[in-house]
Structure 1
Amino acid sequence: MSKQRDAELALVGITGATPNQRRLLPVLEATILTVTAAIPAAAALGVMLGFLVVSFRAAGLVPGIDVPASAWLLGVGVTGLIMVAATFLPTLSALRLPEPRVVARLAAE
């Protein structure tokens, strides 16, 4: 995975991306992954809470589930930071190497 990511960033650099754009590409990918994962997770959580409310009412209890928005934002934020770190940190070595060297190493393999 790391060699593929190095080659991808090198090819993006060869095609004219600035160093800042090369650094932001993995961050953007991690953001897309985090948001994409959060949407179905929120849907699954909504279904689960719906079943919980129905079960509470069937048992004669009053459903009292209150999840503050700050907890949601904290969870998405922490998950996002983990995703960005896991995606961005392995690319730091590739960003230091010149693009032709990375492509030559890829072609030699």
Structure 2
Amino acid sequence: MAATTIVFYGIRFEVTEDDITALESRTHPKILAAKEVGLEYYWGNFDSPDEEYVMFIGKLIGKIGVEDHREFQFKATEITEIEKLVSDRLRQVGIVEKSCLHFKYQPDQ
């Protein structure tokens, strides 16, 4: 995978080594909760060659990189709609953390 920047609206979690097997098999409780209410998730190592595993739950806005989009744009009203959708659905599965817009660089692995 080439280097990319993930643009994601939602919440961010640190991933421990103990979580990786469940994430790879898509049986992690947070993945199941996201799927239950129609949210997206993204996880990976964001500090290659070292390790910093992170997971996002909410809405993937896009990826910017050589193998992805070079740019994209969206209106403030679109983010407002996404914010409401994500917040409402997170609450449905008992997650009350405040969502926000994340930009996270993921180096080439």
TM-score by length of 1: 0.25
Structure number with larger C-alpha Rg: 1
Q: Which has the higher strand share?
A: 2
Q: Which has the higher helix share?
A: 1
RCO (CA 8 Å, sep 6+): is it higher in 1 or 2? 1
TM-score by length of 2: 0.25
